Every structure is written in structure tokens, then in C-alpha cells.
Copies of this chain bind each other. A is one copy, B any other.
Amino acid sequence: MENSFFKDLEANAQGDNVAFDDVLEHLCFNDQGLIPAIAQQHDTGEILMMAWMNRDSLLETLERKRVCYWSRSRQALWRKGESSGHTQQLVEMRIDCDGDAILCLVDQTGPACHTNRKNCFYMSVQGDHVTTIADIPEKYK
């Protein structure tokens, strides 16, 4: 969506800085206070998952360098890996051009998906059917 704050930043050159607090103030949290966040394994480029952050989870992620989402089903902070141990160490956080999506470059410990598959995108559309393209590893069965 059009956001004049981010529109003004478009012309910035590589290396130009703005204050994080100003950016945070203008991020496009939706009417539930959430912004989509993609987690990508920093060294392989694998997309691990997509979830949601609110302001608090975003700030905690940056402070602790551990990715924290907002669980919409539990309506609570979701410190990724808190129970499973499958944490995501934050390597870098990026923001998109119009301030309505977050990209977390992470170092994933263990599988990212709650099914214990490496990543959550294990269903592939193949014509008129959808094929599962990854198994749950034997050790998690």
C-alpha cells in the first residue's frame, strides 16, 4: 500500500541511513497490528517459513537476535524453537520497499516446520494435483 514515508526513502542511495525508530513508526502493521515476516536460511537461500510479527515480537527479535513471531492462534508471542529447540538465530533483518513485509535472514537450528520438515513449503502444485515433496525425517517419526 502507498506509504509516503517509504516512498521518500526510495531515492536513497546505497549506504544511506535513516533512524530505525522512524522506520518502525511507519511500518505497515495491519489492523491486527501484524506484519508478515519471511524467514530465509542466510547461507543457502532456502525459504523456511512465513509467519507474522507484531511490534513487540519484532523488537524482541532484534534485541535477542532470536526470531520471535506473534502466534495468531495462541494470541501470544511465539519464541520460535522455545519448546522444540528449533530456534532461528537472526543474522539480518530486512524491510521491503513499501514497509509492509519483513525478511529475516536466519541460521536455523533443526527443522523450521512444525511437521519437522526442513521448511514449511513442502506442497507443490503440479497441474490438477498438489504433491508432497518432502518427507518427515525418520528421526522425527
Contact = CB atoms under 8 A, between A and B. Distances in A.
A130 B15 contact: no
Contacts of A92: 124-125
Interface of A: 1-2, 9-21, 23, 36, 38, 40, 44-47, 49-50, 62, 72-73, 92-98, 100-101, 103, 113-115, 117, 120-136
Q: Copy number of this protein in the oligomer?
A: 2
A121 B42 CA distance: 14
Which has the most chain B C-beta neighbours within 10 Å: A11, A13, A21, A98? A98
A121 B135 contact: no
Contact of A129 (B17, B100, B117): B17
A47 to B, nearest CB: 6
